[in-house]
Amino acid sequence: MRLMVVLSIGLLAMAAAGSVYGRYRSSSSEGGDEPDGELWALLVAGSNGWYNYRHQADVAHSYHVLKAHGVKEENIVTMMYDDIANNPANTYKGKLFNGPNWVDYYEGVNIDYRGDDVNSENFLNILKGNSSGVRGGNGRVIESGPDDRVFVYFTDHGAVGLISFPDDILTTKSLNDALNWSNKNKRFADLVFYLEACESGSMFERVLPSNINVYAVSAANGKESSWGTYCENDRHLPCLGDLFSVSWMEDSDVEDLTTETVGQQFKIVQKETNKSHVCHFGKMKTEQDPVSWFQGADKLSKHARNTQRTSVHHRLETAVPSREVEIQYLKKILLQTNDADEAEIIRDRLEEIKMKHAHARRTMKRVVSELYDDNEDTLTENTKRRVFYMEKNEESSIVNYPECHHKVVHTFRRLCVNPTEDMEYFMPYIFVLNNLCNAEAGRSHDIMEAIIEQCLVKEID
Ligand SMILES: *[C@@H]1O[C@H](CO)[C@@H](O)[C@H](O)[C@H]1NC(C)=O
Ligand SMILES: *[C@@H]1O[C@H](CO)[C@@H](O)[C@H](O)[C@H]1NC(C)=O
Ligand SMILES: *[C@@H]1O[C@H](CO)[C@@H](O)[C@H](O)[C@H]1NC(C)=O
Report pLDDT for 418. 82
Question: CA angle, corner 109, sides to 103 and 110, nearest 5?
Answer: 175
Cα of 230 to ligand 3 centre, how many Å? 16
- Closest Cα partner for 67 from 78, 52, 56? 78
- Closest Cα partner for 154 from 103, 113, 195? 195
For the stretch 355-366, pLDDT in tens is 999 999 999 999
Report pLDDT for 25. 40
Q: Give the three-class secondary structure for 277.
A: coil
Helix (H) or strand (E) holding 192: strand 190-196
Report pLDDT for 186. 98
Q: How confident is the model at residue 1 (pLDDT cuts 50, 70, 90)?
A: very low
The Cα–Cα gap between 52 and 56 comes to: 8
pLDDT: which is higher, 24 or 45: 45
Look at the chain and count its residues.
461
| Single-letter residue type at 1 | M
Establish whether residue 184 lines the binding site of ligand 2, counting it when its CB lies within 6 angstroms of any ligand atom. Answer: yes
Cite the DSSP H helix spans in 129-261: 172-184, 243-254
DSSP, res 457: I
| Beta-carbon contacts of residue 397 (< 8 Å; ≥ 6 apart) | 160, 199, 201, 202, 205, 221, 222, 223, 431, 434
Report which protein residue has its CA nearest ligand 1's atom 8. 133
| Single-letter residue type at 440 | E
For the stretch 267-305, pLDDT in tens is 999 999 999 999 999 999 999 999 999 999 988 754 454
Q: How confident is the model at residue 12 (pLDDT cuts 50, 70, 90)?
A: very low
The Cα–Cα gap between 249 and 265 comes to: 10
Report pLDDT for 403. 98
Q: How confident is the model at residue 460 (pLDDT cuts 50, 70, 90)?
A: low
For the stretch 121-149, pLDDT in tens is 999 999 999 999 999 999 999 999 999 99
Cα of 116 to ligand 1 centre, how many Å? 19
In sequence order, what E strands does 37-99 have? 39-45, 76-79
Domains 26-322 and 337-460 in one fold: no
Report pLDDT for 292. 96
279-282 and 227-229: which strand pairing?
A: unpaired
Chain mean pLDDT for the chain: 90
- Closest Cα partner for 154 from 41, 316, 296, 295? 41
For the stretch 372-393, pLDDT in tens is 987 666 668 888 888 889 999 9
| Beta-carbon contacts of residue 35 (< 8 Å; ≥ 6 apart) | 24, 147, 149, 189, 190, 293
Is 24 a residue whose pLDDT tops 90?
no
Is 163 a residue whose pLDDT tops 70?
yes
Ligand in nearest proximity to the CA of 271: 3
Q: Of the CATH numbers 3.30.465.10, 3.40.50.1460, 3.40.50.920, 3.40.50.300, which one belongs to the domain with range 26-322?
A: 3.40.50.1460
Query: What is the phi/psi pair of residue 41, to 5°?
Result: -140, 145
Is 9 a residue whose pLDDT tops 60?
no
The domain limits of the chain are: 26-322, 337-460
The Cα–Cα gap between 17 and 9 comes to: 12
Report pLDDT for 59. 98
- Conformation bin of residue 236: beta by default, left when phi > 0, alpha when psi is -120 to 50: left
Report pLDDT for 384. 87
Establish whether residue 31 lines the binding site of ligand 1, counting it when its CB lies within 6 angstroms of any ligand atom. Answer: no
- Closest Cα partner for 19 from 68, 72, 65? 72
Name the pTM for this structure.
0.91
169-171 and 39-45: which strand pairing?
A: unpaired
Is 26 a residue whose pLDDT tops 60?
no
For the stretch 31-70, pLDDT in tens is 346 688 999 999 999 999 999 999 999 999 999 999 999 9
Catalytic residue among 61, 157, 280, 405: 157
DSSP, res 112: S
> What would be the CATH architecture of the domain defined by 337-460?
Orthogonal Bundle (1.10)
Report which protein residue has its CA nearest ligand 2's atom 5. 184
Establish whether residue 10 lines the binding site of ligand 2, counting it when its CB lies within 6 angstroms of any ligand atom. Answer: no
189-202: average pLDDT: 98
